[in-house]
Amino acid sequence: MANVVVIGTQWGDEGKGKVVDLLTERAEYVVRFQGGNNAGHTLVVDGRQFIFHLIPSGILHPGKVCMIGNGVVLDPGVLIQEMDKLDAANIPVTPESLAISRYTHVIMPYHRALDEARESRKGSTKIGTTGRGIGPCYEDKVCRSGIRMHDLLDPARFRERLDANLEEKNFMLKHYFGSAPLDGNAIADEYLAYGQRLAPYATNVSEVLQKADRDGRNILFEGAQGTHLDIDHGTYPFVTSSNTVAGNACCGSGIGPTRIHKVIGVVKAYTTRVGGGPFPCELLDETGRQIQKVGGEFGATTGRPRRCGWLDMVVVNSSIRLNGLSGLVITKLDVLTGIPTLKIAVRYKCGAQEVGSVPPELKALEACDPIYEELPGWEESIRQVRRFSDLPENTRRYLEAIEDMASIPLHLVSVGPGRDETIILQNPFD
């Protein structure tokens, strides 16, 4: 039995969805513990494409229990849309297959309105948020005025909290941002209906996880975004509003740290970033455009093109430290096929100094230039390869270089979007 956390090691969009989907075969419970519908997983199963923002991708496996932990911020309208889409595809979502923590904070219409109003006011200093209300919802959680899942199930209490919040939010929207105020009656009707629909799914996730753990079940914790978007450890202020590192799997679901056995980091074979913020290895040339096109690097949530660059082991090694990673998964390796020479950043030159981890301050990071190691590329298609030893020599050298620089083992290598297009070196549940 093992409880495993899967984390993105870069700035999100590392291909965690496919990895979680694969590992779910060995897990009975799949838990999301932070973020909200700012995340997006695109999965291809039997040629069918699925995009999820909230429901763990484990829902595609019959008999598994998917959980939304207290650390998530939940937009109930979006969740219900996902449930309906799955129902229409003959993948029923039932209280046996999906559980929501009663203590999950709810994204309200004023959170979305404030997210957008704030970003448009920022002009050139904007973070490039997904506009889903994530930051404002976490703000209310921390300032103790948030509305939680269990509040939706109690109409009188909900109305009281809504009215108290709305008074302040409408003042800000109207008088500070010059936007339209929101109507409390309309919000109450909409959200109480969501509460009724979601009531059968609301539970104490922490207690369910304790029982599962005691019964010897395998639990998989699914991180969203990436380590360098972490509110504390990321490239602040160009970050998301939650802790994306592995430690938050415990806080965001209600399980203790001694119950986590492995932490796996997902590394895309190159680097991407959506939205603003520093990106030392960014490629603004033809190679960057080729990677963007071949890798389909357009956001699953917003459709925005992702900025692309070389693999940055300074970023990955910082993630190994911040998450205590026990192993790595490499994704989208096939996208690099045909590039004659590949580069991997091994250190940064920051003024007179050379550093091996990401400087925590924005100004210092902006002044850094990557120091690259060059490796020969490969021409052969690798999508049909299922064994490490069958990969072209230069592909193996690229992977061995990563493993060597990381000093932790590789578990899986993804060579295409399909579930089967994977080389399994070592299953983390073994």
Residues designated as active site: 13, 41
Q: Tokens 């899986």 label which residue?
A: 412
Q: Which stretch binds ligand IMP (CB under 6 A): 80-88, 124-132, 191-199, 343-351?
A: 124-132
Binds ligand IMP (CB under 6 A): choice among 24, 34, 42, 240:
240
187 binds ligand IMP (CB under 6 A): no
Q: Which is nearer to ligand IMP, 240 or 319 (CB)?
A: 240
CA distance linking residue 162 with residue 184, whole number of Å? 7
DSSP bridge partners of 329:
266, 412
User: How far does CA 279 lie from the centroid of its chain?
Assistant: 18
267 makes contact with ligand IMP (CB under 6 A): no
Say how far apart CA 257 and CA 222 lie, in whole Å: 15
Binding flag, residue 241, ligand IMP (CB under 6 A) = yes
Size of the site for ligand IMP (CB under 6 A): 21
Q: Does 274 bind ligand IMP (CB under 6 A)?
A: yes
Q: Is 327 in the site for ligand IMP (CB under 6 A)?
A: no
Q: Give the single-character DSSP code of 55.
A: S
- Asked if residue 292 binds ligand IMP (CB under 6 A), the reply is no
344 forms part of the interface with ligand IMP (CB under 6 A): no
Q: Render 136-192 in DSSP notation, one character per residue.
A: HHHHHHHTT---BGGGGG-HHHHHHHHHHHHHHHHHIIIIIS-PPP--HHHHHHHHH
Of 94-102, 223-231, 260-268, 382-390, which part binds ligand IMP (CB under 6 A)? 223-231
129 is an interface residue for ligand IMP by CB under 6 A? yes
Residue type, 325: L
In whole angstroms, give the CA distance from residue 55 to residue 24. Answer: 13
CB of 301 to ligand IMP, least distance (A): 6
Nearest CB to ligand IMP, comparing residues 128 and 181: 128
Sign of the CA dihedral 377, 378, 383, 388? Answer: negative
Q: What is the rounded distance in angstroms from the CA atom of residue 427 to the CA atom of residue 430?
A: 5
54 is an interface residue for ligand IMP by CB under 6 A: no
Instruction: From 147, 143, 151, 183, select the one nearest 166 (Cα to Cα).
Output: 183
Structure tokens at 90: 């003959």
Cβ-closest position to ligand IMP: 275
**Residue 37 Cβ vs ligand IMP, minimum distance, rounded to whole Å:** 9
Interface of this chain with ligand IMP, residues 135 to 154, rule: CB under 6 A: 135
Q: Are 269 and 330 in contact (CB under 8 A)?
A: yes
CA distance linking residue 222 with residue 34, whole number of Å: 9
Token digits for 171? 């003042």
The tokens of 70 are what? 């207290």
Q: From the CB of 175, what's the least distance to ligand IMP, in Å?
A: 24
Name all contacts of 167-171 with Cβ < 8 Å and 24+ positions apart.
Answer: 169/110, 169/113, 169/114, 170/110
The string of DSSP letters for 348-380 reads EEETTEEESS--SSHHHHHTEEEEEEEEE---S
Cβ nearer to ligand IMP, comparing 12 with 428 = 12
What tokens were used for 373?
Answer: 């190691």
Q: Which of 39, 209, 266, 368 binds ligand IMP (CB under 6 A)?
A: 39
What count of residues does the chain have? 430
Distance CA 337, CA 78 (A): 37
Among positions 18, 111, 118, 132, the unique one binding ligand IMP when judged by CB under 6 A:
132
Binding of residue 57 to ligand IMP (CB under 6 A): no
Q: Decide if residue 227 touches ligand IMP (CB under 6 A).
A: no
Residues 6 or more apart whose CB falls under 8 angstroms from that of 119 comprise 126, 127, 128, 129, 131
In terms of CB distance, is 326 or 331 closer to ligand IMP?
331
Q: Does residue 265 touch ligand IMP according to CB under 6 A?
A: no
Closer of 27 and 229 to ligand IMP (Cβ): 229
Considering only 66, 73, 93, 134, the residue that binds ligand IMP (CB under 6 A) is 134
Peptide bond into 56 cis (omega under 30): no
Is 71 a residue that touches ligand IMP (CB under 6 A)? Answer: no
Q: Which is nearer to ligand IMP, 28 or 222 (CB)?
A: 222
10-29: contacts with ligand IMP (CB under 6 A): 11-13
Instruction: Tell me whether the omega of the peptide bond preceding residue 237 falls within 30 degrees of 0, making it cis.
Output: yes
Nearer to ligand IMP, 238 or 398 (CB): 238
Q: Residue 391 Cβ, how far from ligand IMP at the closest point, in Å?
A: 28
Nearer to ligand IMP, 61 or 112 (CB): 112
> Which CB, 130 or 318, lies closer to ligand IMP?
130
Does 297 help bind ligand IMP (rule: CB under 6 A)?
no
- The residues binding ligand IMP (CB under 6 A) are 11-13, 38-40, 127-130, 132, 134-135, 224-225, 229, 238, 240-241, 274-275
